[in-house]
A and B are shown apart, each in its own frame.
Chain A
């Protein structure tokens, strides 16, 4: 109905303006109606909680439902004096530092291999991407089983190859020093598929004749890798590193399921501590202040990413 009344105006507009110039759009409220449903959900489930969380961080709000009262900066000063909060942030940073390099470097290596191997390419893509689609609790169950000190798959092979004495089995998840590494290994195995896919897509956009030209100039595969492939992948690498940093800072699921933050809180990470103070300690106000500390950290990484990519231009 409205379409019919609009038709003459539209037809005229088509005649008077050059076709397909974007700035010839008419300025009216129609577009807002398309944006409104999303924006309503966005306001309710993203903007509002962001504001509400900040407000809660200045109150002693509790999950028990009594009316919260304003406590000013008390939660914030408590966060900065809380050794457990610092240790959780430190563990998050350690996890990020351990997991990011292998997740980026191995992803490049795997993508280069899968891209080169012609006949086995499908198999490599399957092998490296398959773990990524498995739900986290299945991943952690499989790996918890593999890490069993007594009769687990990993220790079995360590003993078989004589790396480890069978009488003193390696303790993986229950050892303060090894627990973090164990979760890192599981995480690398599980999530590398995503970075692998990004690199594979980027590799396929590099035209083949660049390599042919350089081969004529006498460049070997290493020289090609260093002078052609890696420089052409630098944009993807920037993207992968920042996405990986943000993802690693948000670590929670694997720790919660594999170690519950233990042993002796050696793997208790930021979101886990937020979860504990909010949902086990019932201190919504304090947990909100903690959330905001993590929020600001991730925000800083995101801003670096945005600056990095807007400078390189697109």
Chain B
């Protein structure tokens, strides 16, 4: 009680005290600080180890050599091999194409749907919205069997569309965008409508310019999610020339079934094939 009453009087004295604490930290604070930075470095070690190994020559990188971080014999052969041999560039192109299709389509469809739910009232709207929200609870992994069948029926196996389309359905993005659009004031749109703009024009010229950050967030998350997707491309892309980067690296050149036990990628990614290893 008294402490609360004392608060206004104490505040001016407290502010300089806090500033002083940052300038001259105590020994304990320094120890904690160093420990925290060490923890972060420890967290980065696997990545640094990958970087270090990728810059060694093949013999220096192979198992049985002593563990050292700075390459004795610097070499870019591994990187050359990635670009010169095998399907790595093809997979990179495939990943880029698929992720771009997924991102563009997701943004287009979800923005349209979110705008429809946010600004219009149509018969059955609540039912349709409820059905889409229920989709939030359906795990995509549980649908792989029938989805594979549907994509096969549509003759889309081993095509970009077969890889991309099932990833486009993202109820969570509709939900996020609708909540954002709901918060955009309607006054601008009404002004635009008086000036003769149609609904699509209002969406394109009024709403979207106001939604930059949320569109970027949805776009980036969709792109990363699709880029890193493993299970679906693993099922649909059985032809190595249609594989995405994660599947190609995991199934054809890396993975437990293959050569990771012998030499470190990226060097070996290009050279080892399942057929030659197993």
Contact = CB atoms under 8 A, between A and B. Distances in A.
Interface of A: 2-4, 6-7, 10-11, 14, 19-20, 22, 25-35, 37-39, 41-42, 44-50, 52-53, 56, 113, 117-118, 120, 123-124, 127-128, 130-131, 133-138, 140-146, 148, 150-153, 156, 173, 189, 212-213, 215-218, 246, 249-250, 252-253, 256-260, 271, 274-275, 278-279, 284, 287-288, 291-292, 294-295, 298-299, 302-303, 306
B198 A213 contact: no
A117 B33 contact: yes
A295 B191 CA distance: 48
Contact of A295 (B3, B142, B169): B142
Given A28-B122, A35-B116, A138-B249, A153 B67 contact: yes
Category for how many chain B residues contact A: 35 or more
Interface in B25-42: 33, 36-37, 39-41
Contacts of A146: 46, 49
Q: Which of A29, A46, A142 has the most CB of B within 10 A?
A: A46
Nearest to A140: B250
A298 B36 CA distance: 36
A250 to B, nearest CB: 5
25 contacts: A7-B193, A19-B186, A30-B199, A34-B116, A35-B112, A35-B128, A38-B113, A39-B132, A49-B146, A120-B36, A124-B36, A127-B44, A128-B43, A133-B228, A142-B47, A142-B49, A142-B50, A144-B261, A153-B67, A212-B14, A215-B14, A217-B3, A250-B141, A278-B148, A291-B143
Closest 7 A/B residue pairs (Cβ)? A31-B120, A34-B116, A137-B250, A3-B198, A127-B40, A38-B113, A49-B146
Contact of A127 (B41, B120, B128, B190): B41
A11 B121 contact: no
A145 B263 CA distance: 9
Binding site secondary structure of chain A: helix
Interface of B: 3-4, 6-7, 10-11, 14, 18, 22, 33, 36-37, 39-41, 43-47, 49-50, 53, 63-65, 67, 108-110, 112-113, 115-117, 119-125, 128, 131-132, 135-139, 141-150, 165-166, 168-169, 171, 174, 182, 185-187, 190, 193-194, 196-199, 201, 224, 227-228, 230-231, 234-235, 245-247, 249-250, 254-257, 260-261, 264-265
Given A127-B41, A142-B50, A246-B139, A47 B231 contact: no
B152 to A, nearest CB: 9
Contacts of B257: 260
Contact of A120 (B33, B46, B50): B33
Given A19-B190, A38-B174, A260-B257, A130 B47 contact: yes
Contacts of A45: 147, 150, 165-166, 168-169
B139 A257 contact: no
A203 B256 CA distance: 40
B70 to A, nearest CB: 15
